[in-house]
Amino acid sequence: MIRVTNLTRVYRVGSVEVHALTDVSLSIEDKEVACIMGRSGSGKSTLLRQLGLIDRPTSGKIMLDDRDVTDLAETERAKTRLTRLGYIFQEFALLGELTAHENVCLPGMMAANGGGYAKRAAELLAAVGLKERMNHRPRELSGGEQQRVAIARALVNNPRFLFADEPCANLDTVSSELVMETLVELNGRLGVTVVFVSHDPNDRQYANRVLYLKDGRMVPEHDQICPPDAEPTGSRGGQ
């Protein structure tokens, strides 16, 4: 379970303070697929980075499975990211010098509780439909294929939570559907809690819970009848 209480993130740009998140509180149950939606600049990605322990909040508290992870030391944060969290970036973020299989293996190799990570990496790549592309390097894969490699990489250590930051932002419609279906299928098959960010209203269909952000604040559920970010169906692109 993820529980966030009064989370605030303030960036300082020169002498100006930018409040990216203000007093955000939420909870996401185990095995849920939660979608965070909102306009560009509403703080969706910032929130996901706090949950994925990639950024540190200015104040507030983040609990993962009843463990306070807000102020963990960097070594502990790295260990938590490695073993309990999976993170999928908007722009794929694969390591160009490694093949698809090696990219997926890398976190497994680092965690390595015994062997078997190579086999698991191969199974995950097969599960995301890339069995035949395992030995290709990222530049030899399409955007959709790269994103599916990133999904496999995020899952190699059997994480409890999977965070995806606009995983389809750089993909065409067909690839987007494939990626989203893959996420939902893995949620069902592996029981991993999935939190993804999107600004495409169509993606709500993949979530069993939708959270809205506006100007860095959570929009109360009773105000969510009319989604604040209603972009045309099928329109995709980065924030």
Partner 1 sequence: MGRSLGVAFFLAKRAIARGNLRVSILSISVLVLVYLNIALGPAMIDGLVDLINDKVRTTVTGDILVQPDFGEDFIPDAKALASQIEAIDGVEGAVPLKVVGYQIRYEGRQFTSSLTAADPTDFGSVFTTSDYMIEGSFLEPDDTDQIVLGINVAGADRKFDASWASLRSVNAGDRVVVVFTNGVEKEYTVKGVFQTEMPYSDIKAFITESELSLVSPEVGDSATHLCVRAEKGCELGPIMAEIQALRDGLSVGTWEEAAGMIKVSVDSVKSVYFIIQAIALVVAGLTVAMVTYIDLANRRKQIGIQRAIGITKQTIILAYTFRAFFLFAVGTILSSLVFVFVIVPLEKQHPVHFSFGYILFPVDVLYLAAAAVVLGVVSLLSAAIPAWQATRMEVVDAIWSS
CA–CA separation, 185 and 191 (whole Å): 9
Q: Which is nearer to partner 1, 54 or 219 (CB)?
A: 54
The yes or no reply on residue 184 touching partner 1 (CB under 8 A) is: no
For residue 229, count CB atoms less than 10 angstroms from its CB and return exposed for 0-12, middle for 13-18, buried for 19 or more: middle
Amino acid 47 reads L
* Residue owning tokens 């030995």: 135
Min separation Cβ 238 and partner 1, Å = 12
Q: Dihedral sign, CA of 141, 151, 182, 91? A: negative
Pick from 63, 109, 118, 219 the residue near partner 1 by CB under 8 A: 109
Tokens of 35: 């979608």
**How far is Cα 36 from Cα 56, in angstroms, rounded to an integer?**
19
Q: Of the listed pieces 36-44, 149-157, 177-185, 231-239, which binds partner 1 according to CB under 8 A?
A: 149-157
Query: Per rule CB under 8 A, is residue 106 in the interface with partner 1?
Result: yes
Nearest approach, Cβ of residue 49 and partner 1 (Å): 6
Spatial CB neighbours of 197, under 8 Å, sequence gap ≥ 6: 35, 36, 37, 44, 45, 47, 48, 164, 165, 166
Which 73-102 positions form the footprint of partner 1 (CB under 8 A)?
74-75, 78-79, 81-83, 87, 89, 93-98, 102
In order of 27, 43, 238, the CA distances from 5 in angstroms are 9, 16, 28
CB nearer partner 1, residue 38 or residue 138: 138
Q: Which is nearer to partner 1, 89 or 161 (CB)?
A: 89
112: contact with partner 1 by CB under 8 A: yes
Number of residues engaging partner 1 in binding (CB under 8 A) = 31
Q: Which residues bind partner 1 (CB under 8 A)?
A: 49, 52, 54-56, 74-75, 78-79, 81-83, 87, 89, 93-98, 102, 106-107, 109-112, 137, 153-154, 157
